[in-house]
């Protein structure tokens, strides 16, 4: 039986990487999906590749803008009759990421894209979930939100710690409301964000790390559990990656 049969999901950062893999797996498991991202052309190409007909729509939205998040959720709800699952996957990083290199402008951009965007999307979708007494919010965080390793950079790590805390607080606040919140913390993933690494990674390292489909399986797992089950935190990492 399809784990998400009849469900409607919104996936931010859905044009590539983990977001696109989540959308594909959700569609395969019976969901209708809206993918969102800043680049409409990228979303259109992803939609063509996913080839899910009327079960998939895309909407260009910058999650760092609260008004665009509200429009995204309203558009998705109008298209499919409501939103059952929100996957907060949108995020970014930059090459000049050490504290010495960060500027107020780049710090603000990292926080808005990686933390504020999750809050804005949650704020836009939560009232309807509360009214139905049902809903799942999955935050794709990062092990950088559990371990303050300099690899991710100060602003990215700070934002991901904040995103994780946001999810945990919301999970506890809404434990009796029917809304469940899960934080998924992936380790290194072979996605386009690697292009922003200060130093390129080798082909051997790229082959050894997580693939977007691996993380998508984790997201499906927590999103597809029955209403009486909640997974507050799930860490998934490459076997070869240290976790300390």
SS (H, E, C) 126-180: HHHHHHHCCEEEEEECCHHHCCCCHHHCHHHHHHHHHHHHHHHHHHHHCCCCCEE
Among 22, 49, 47, smallest CA distance to 211 is for: 22
Nearest to 32 by CA among 63, 77, 71: 77
Residue 222's pLDDT is 98
Whole-prediction pTM: 0.95
- Report how far apart, in Å, the C-alpha atoms of 57 and of each of 49, 69, 185 are: 12, 16, 27
As a residue count, the chain comes to 244
Q: What is the pLDDT of residue 194?
A: 80
pLDDT at 157: 97
Token pair 């950079």 is at which residue? 153
192, 170 in Cβ contact below 8 A? no
Q: How many CB atoms lie within 10 A of CB 123?
A: 13
Tell me whether residue 65 is exposed, middle or buried, using C-beta atoms within 10 angstroms of its C-beta: 0 to 12, 13 to 18, 19 or more: middle
Active site residues: 156
Q: Which residues of the chain have pLDDT under 70?
A: none
State pLDDT tens for residues 47-93.
999 999 999 999 999 999 999 999 999 999 999 999 999 999 999 99
Cβ atoms of 110 and 94 within 8 Å: the answer is yes
**pLDDT computed for residue 192 by the predictor:** 80
- Domains, the chain, in order of start with CATH, read 8-236 (3.40.50.720)
What distance lies between CA 40 and its chain's CA centroid? Answer: 18
């Amino acid at each position: 039986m399809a784990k998400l049969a009849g469900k409607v999901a919104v996936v931010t950062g859905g044009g590539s990487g983990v977001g696109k893999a989540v959308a594909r797996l959700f569609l395969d498991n019976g969901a209708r999906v809206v993918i969102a991202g800043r680049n409409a052309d990228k979303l259109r190409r992803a939609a063509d590749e996913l080839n899910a007909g009327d079960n998939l729509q895309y909407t260009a939205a910058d999650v760092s803008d609260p008004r665009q998040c509200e429009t995204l959720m309203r558009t998705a709800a109008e298209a499919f009759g409501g939103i059952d699952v929100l996957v907060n996957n949108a995020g970014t990083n930059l090459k000049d990421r050490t504290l010495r290199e960060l500027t107020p402008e780049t710090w603000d951009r990292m926080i808005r894209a990686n933390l504020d965007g999750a809050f804005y999307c949650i704020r836009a979708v939560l009232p309807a979930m509360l009214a139905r007494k049902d809903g799942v919010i999955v935050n794709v965080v990062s092990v950088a939100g559990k371990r303050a390793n300099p690899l991710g950079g100060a602003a990215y790590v700070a934002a991901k710690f904040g995103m994780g805390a946001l999810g945990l607080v919301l999970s506890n606040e809404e434990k009796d409301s029917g809304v469940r919140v899960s934080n998924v913390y992936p380790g290194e993933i072979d996605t386009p964000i690697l292009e922003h690494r200060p130093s390129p990674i080798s082909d051997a390292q790229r082959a050894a790390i997580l693939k977007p489909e691996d993380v998508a399986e984790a997201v499906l797992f927590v999103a597809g559990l029955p209403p009486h089950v909640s997974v507050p935190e799930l860490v998934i990492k490459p076997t070869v990656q240290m976790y300390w």
